[in-house]
Structure 1
Amino acid sequence: MSAPADNGVGTGVRAPKRARIAERTLRTDRWWLQPLLTVLGLSAFIIYATVRSFVRTAYWVPDYHYLTPFYSPCLSTSCVEGSSHFGHWFGDLPGFIPLGFVVLPFLLGFRLTCYYYRKAYYRSVWFSPPACAVAEPHAKYTGETRLPLIIQNVHRYFFYVALVVSLINTYDAITAFHGKTGGFGFGLGNVILLANVVLLWAYTLSCHSCRHVTGGRLKHFSKHPVRYWIWTQVTKLNTRHMTLAWTTLGTLVLTDFYVMLVASGAIADLRFVN
């Protein structure tokens, strides 16, 4: 994203060469409601996810092999027995390091650099701008050309890591079809884990980077019918990227909360088979 020349006098809406309008906005509707709801929603998820990632309790149900996505993959000897599906790559970790530390920074990076989330927190947190036809408070505009916002350009690389994490979550969901007495088992927890994985795949594949990977460099769609078909399917998902961005935050919390309740003994998993 390019930025206009500054020339030392500022490029914001209050710059000397811009129209002189004293009011911040002439809008009379509740334009501030959407940014407020966005801040509340993102803050609620961040607080919940942060607390759950550090508490190190009630994240694994040994009877049914339910593992919360906030702790997957669990690769440390600090993980409770059975929860390390991919072995122990690390020894005991101090309490200030979450057990899912291997992928959590990449998932955070993927979300933070996501095109939709950029719009969400640019408007609601940075007020750039907070709403259409509402003046932003910043005197200068540099876009994503300087630190720290220039880091947004690595979004495509976080996307590749997100694909790997989605595969891991899929493995966790399949492994969870485990009965209390061994063999195949199926309960409400499986429905929740599976639904969460499906929606996470939908969110990941609806990413703008995925759309670019599948068809962004093609000059002649007619010469690449398979890639063109894939590109059209990803484009359909892409139109729902905002909805999936919020839905997956909700399903992540729901999945973790359900696993926590079952693991702590607060409720019993509703079992359909074994």
Structure 2
Amino acid sequence: MATGTEPSERSTGVRSPGRASVAARHLRTDRWWLAPAATAAGLLAFVAYSTWRAFANAHYYAAPYVSPFYSPCLAENCVPMRGGPNWALFGSWWGLSPALLILVFPLGFRLTCYYYRKAYYRGFWASPPACAVAEPHRAYSGETRFPLILQNVHRYFFYLALPVAGVLTYDTALAFRDASYAWGHAGLGTVVFLVNIVLIWAYTLSCHSCRHVVGGRLRHFSKHPVRYRLWTWAGHLNRRHMLLAWASLISVALCDLYVYLLATGAFDDPRFF
């Protein structure tokens, strides 16, 4: 006989009968709300900027630089990029911004990233807002239900992010050309692209999925010395995953902004040699 208190109907949050009864919402005396507020503000700023640039469909190429938001360009409506990754795989039927064809892969990789989950869960959903601060939700299901169960596809987005990082590495190599496409150029844009690709690779390889792929399922490290060394390197990077997540997020936006300013004629690329 149903009693109305079946497990599926009970509150599973911090106020549930099985949890300790504490009247105060938290006992912290510091400004614990600063971290989630700053996280939310930073992510909102990036979302607003990247959305504007993704739908702009303009000012994303200034020879020899191509914005990382638009590379590789996969539609016929891409601006001509001499020597760049401009592959019209989608033909002429795609009429929207070509950035929308490629950004889904790095976006999906970051959206399902373990660190970014923590960041926006706390910053936007207050789940929980901070350590030792009770979340306001009456129930908690974790990532076992739709849509959060889709977070489990992170490992697959890792595989999709690798070729995108490879293309951006190619773009960085092309940044060593001048406006006439002659090799031997180095300017401020070259430095911007170099810093960006180093941070992107560091963030990608510090991913928890990468660490698991290279050595997470091994039973005996002694039998796999190469994979053990790779696993160790990934572990060292993983300890700085949060820092690399933010640094690469900022660098990819600054890289796009730099190309935008060059393409709009705001200034000329300072050349070193």
- With normalisation by structure 1, the TM-score equals 0.93
Which residue number corresponds to residue 58 of structure 1?
59
Shift of 1:27: 1.2
Helix, strand or coil: the match of 2:133?
Answer: coil
Letter in 2 for 1:53: A
Shift of 1:132: 1.2
Rounded to whole Å, the distance in 2 between the matches of 1:150 and 1:175 is 40
Which residue number corresponds to residue 197 of structure 1?
197
Helix, strand or coil: the match of 2:52?
Answer: helix
Asked if the contact 2:85/2:167 (under 8 Å) is kept, the reply is: no
Q: What is the aligned residue count?
A: 266
Rounded to whole Å, the distance in 2 between the matches of 1:214 and 1:191 is 30
Which residue number corresponds to residue 217 of structure 1?
217
Matching of residue 25 in structure 1 with residue 26 in structure 2:
yes
Shift of 1:93: 5.9
Letter in 2 for 1:104: L
Rounded to whole Å, the distance in 2 between the matches of 1:216 and 1:154 is 17
RMSD of equivalent CA atoms: 1.6
Structure 1 unmatched runs, 5+:
none
Letter in 2 for 1:201: W
Helix, strand or coil: the match of 1:227?
Answer: helix
Rounded to whole Å, the distance in 2 between the matches of 1:28 and 1:204 is 37
Helix, strand or coil: the match of 1:186?
Answer: coil
Map residues 161-176 of structure 1 onto 2, 5 A cutoff: 161-176=160-175
Which residue number corresponds to residue 148 of structure 2?
149
C-alpha distance after superposition, 1:108-153 (max 9, x if no partner): 1111110101111111111111011111111111111110111011
Rounded to whole Å, the distance in 1 between the matches of 2:102 and 2:263 is 23
Structure 2 unmatched runs, 5+:
1-5
C-alpha distance after superposition, 1:191-238 (max 9, x if no partner): 101110111000000000000000011100011111111110111000
Rounded to whole Å, the distance in 1 between the matches of 2:175 and 2:111 is 30
Asked if the contact 1:78/1:93 (under 8 Å) is kept, the reply is: no
Which residue number corresponds to residue 48 of structure 1?
49
Rounded to whole Å, the distance in 2 between the matches of 1:93 and 1:270 is 38
Which residue number corresponds to residue 79 of structure 1?
78
C-alpha distance after superposition, 1:155-203 (max 9, x if no partner): 0000001111000100111122212334212211011011101110000
Letter in 2 for 1:78: N
* Percent identical: 57
